[in-house]
Chain A
Amino acid sequence: MSVLRPLDKQPGLNTATILLVGTEDALLQQLADAMLKEDCASELKIHLARSLPLPSDVNRPRIDLIMFVVNLHSKYSLQNVEESLRHVDATFFLGKVGFLAMGAGQESHCSIHRNTVTKLANTYRSPVFFCDLEESQVTRFFRGQAPAHTTDANRTRLSPWPVPDTCPPGP
């Protein structure tokens, strides 16, 4: 079984490679698009994967950061992340892994409790971000005309949710 290791390859010159792992492709794509729009000191490359292990026959650059994306509305996505975590070497968790929990805004749709993800993140000594994706709408007013709404579909904002402060200290 192939395991991701953080330092098994040479770093690329002035490049940063982020790996997003999650079941919902559309979500990952939106996240990736949003991240690429921001300014970054290095050249940014984003790999999207449904689950780990990654296909072994591909030549890929060294991965600098792994973000595991969990959709709180889907137990399936949590299961997928838990299984993928087994294919990551322990040394990755020294600051190169993070968890993203999406969908906390719609409590009624959540089938995973926020604490479950918080506990998971604590077990792996990694930070967790709670967030939702939203489209930002720009309203323009023209003299004498009704306001025209333009949805700038390319601008997606990450609105962070406060991380619950009931994080239990690690064992």
Chain B
Amino acid sequence: MDETVAEFFKRTILKIPMTEMMTILKAWDFLSEKQLQDVNFQQRKESLVQDLVLLCEKKRASVHDAALLDIVYTQFHRHRKVWDVFQMSKGPGEDIDLFDMEQFKSSFKKILQRALKNVMVSFRDAEENAVWIRIAWGTQYRKPNQYKPVYVVYYSQTPYAFTSSCPLRSNIPLLGQALTVASNHHKIVKMDLRSRYLDSLKAIVFKQYNQTFETYNSTTPLQEKSLELDIHMDSRIIHENRIEKERVQRVTQETFGDYSQPRLEFAQYKLETKFKSDFNGDILAERKEPLRCLIKFSSPHLLEALKSLAPAGIADAPLSPLLTCIPNKGMNYFKIKDK
């Protein structure tokens, strides 16, 4: 086995935490059950990795097999990448063709290889008619760099593709073009939506976040909530603004629903508006150019945090539509200009 390939194997297997080693190797499906049984998984990680690399060498594993292992690892650790969302569209009057996965794959690969001499493309099918694509970029004179790949997750029955952030920004237009042409689309547009949580991005873009599986009478949850308050409350504590509290709960539920929110880490608002001031003769208000200002909200779980603002008494209900429109509009990057 080539030295670089062996190194690639070693580094990829080293990334895998010991607790997931068996699961990921099984999902990779390159080493057989029996071969895995023969390996001592109780030893120190460095020795285990050496044994596994030797095993791969014996089985004549190629760089493509290593790439597949890398895809499996990334599928298990998808939150380690930041995902962008691209939306494709067909031209006016174009028919919806029957999608052929194999044709898509070969077409995608061809387009990239025609444009760039050294590029390695690997595919792995996933559930829901999705395909995970791994692209390792090279140059005219250099072999593909296996340690800075780009991942694309394309849901073939939809016009959406999710890509991990590409370190080589110059390759993004080519990637977009390859996706568009290979999938028989006409145009591709980058959405203003970005997050580490691929499943949440899916939920937002496919509008699956607001599905509640049981139908319920909308009045009963409120009753349950007020009962809860009574049980925990000391009878010596009296809440004066109960009606207001219930109003806030109701408004929050109407805006955010009862389901758990998709997970985003931030929302960014780029303001390019003129400064508005109540004071006369304010220097900033006299400026003709718009004031540029960037506001960023970050949180481990932004939408749940926004949902809890009004009930916690930190903000008025209803919240600004700029905050509540995020899942509906499928955006967490906003540019706000004067009308």
Q: Do B312 and A25 touch across chains, with their CB atoms under 8 A apart? A: yes
Name the interface size band of chain A: 20 to 34
Instruction: Tell me the nearest residue of chain B to A44, going by C-beta.
Output: B236
Instruction: For B237, list chain A residues within 8 Å (CB).
Output: 29, 32-33, 36, 45-48
Q: Do B244 and A24 touch across chains, with their CB atoms under 8 A apart? A: no
Q: Do B313 and A45 touch across chains, with their CB atoms under 8 A apart? A: no
Q: Do A50 and B241 touch across chains, with their CB atoms under 8 A apart? A: yes
B2 proximal to A (CB < 8 A): no
B97 proximal to A (CB < 8 A): no
Tell me which of B239, B243, B314 contacts A48 (CB under 8 A).
B239
Q: Is the interface of B mostly helix, strand, loop or mixed?
A: loop
Determine how close the nearest CB of chain A comes to the CB of B309; give it in whole angstroms. 10
Name the interface size band of chain B: 10 to 19
Instruction: Give complex CA distance A56, B48 in Å.
Output: 74
Determine how close the nearest CB of chain A comes to the CB of B246; give it in whole angstroms. 12
Determine how close the nearest CB of chain B comes to the CB of A52; give it in whole angstroms. 9
Q: Do B312 and A49 touch across chains, with their CB atoms under 8 A apart? A: no
Q: Do B236 and A55 touch across chains, with their CB atoms under 8 A apart? A: no
A76 proximal to B (CB < 8 A): yes
A13 proximal to B (CB < 8 A): no
Instruction: For A48, list chain B residues within 8 Å (CB).
Output: 237-241
A54 proximal to B (CB < 8 A): yes
> Which of A26, A27, A32 neighbours the largest number of chain B CB atoms within 10 Å of its CB?
A32
Instruction: Tell me the nearest residue of chain A to B311, going by C-beta.
Output: A25
Q: Which residues of A contact B (CB under 8 A)?
A: 19, 22-27, 29, 32-33, 36, 43-51, 54-55, 58, 60, 74, 76-77
Q: Is the interface of A mostly helix, strand, loop or mixed?
A: mixed
B276-316 interface mask toward A, CB cutoff 8 Å, 1 = contact, 0 = none? Answer: 00000000000000000000000000000000000111111
Instruction: For A23, list chain B residues within 8 Å (CB).
Output: 313-314
Q: Do B236 and A45 touch across chains, with their CB atoms under 8 A apart? A: yes
B196 proximal to A (CB < 8 A): no
B245 proximal to A (CB < 8 A): yes
B228 proximal to A (CB < 8 A): no
Tell me which of B234, B243, B245 contacts A25 (CB under 8 A).
B245
Instruction: Give complex CA distance A19, B237 in Å.
Output: 10
Rank and list the top 9 A-B pairs by shortest CB-CB distance, nearest first: A49-B240, A23-B313, A24-B313, A50-B241, A47-B238, A32-B237, A46-B237, A45-B236, A54-B240
Instruction: Give complex CA distance A50, B238 in Å.
Output: 12
Instruction: Give complex CA distance A29, B239 in Å.
Output: 9
A33-B234 CB under 8 A given contacts A24-B314, A48-B239, A76-B315: yes
Instruction: Tell me the nearest residue of chain A to B243, going by C-beta.
Output: A55
Tell me which of B238, B244, B314 contacts A74 (CB under 8 A).
B314
B224-251 interface mask toward A, CB cutoff 8 Å, 1 = contact, 0 = none? Answer: 0000000000101111110111000000
Instruction: Tell me the nearest residue of chain A to B233, going by C-beta.
Output: A29
Instruction: Tell me the nearest residue of chain B to A19, going by C-beta.
Output: B240
> Which of B234, B237, B245 neighbours the largest number of chain A CB atoms within 10 Å of its CB?
B237
Q: Do A50 and B244 touch across chains, with their CB atoms under 8 A apart? A: yes
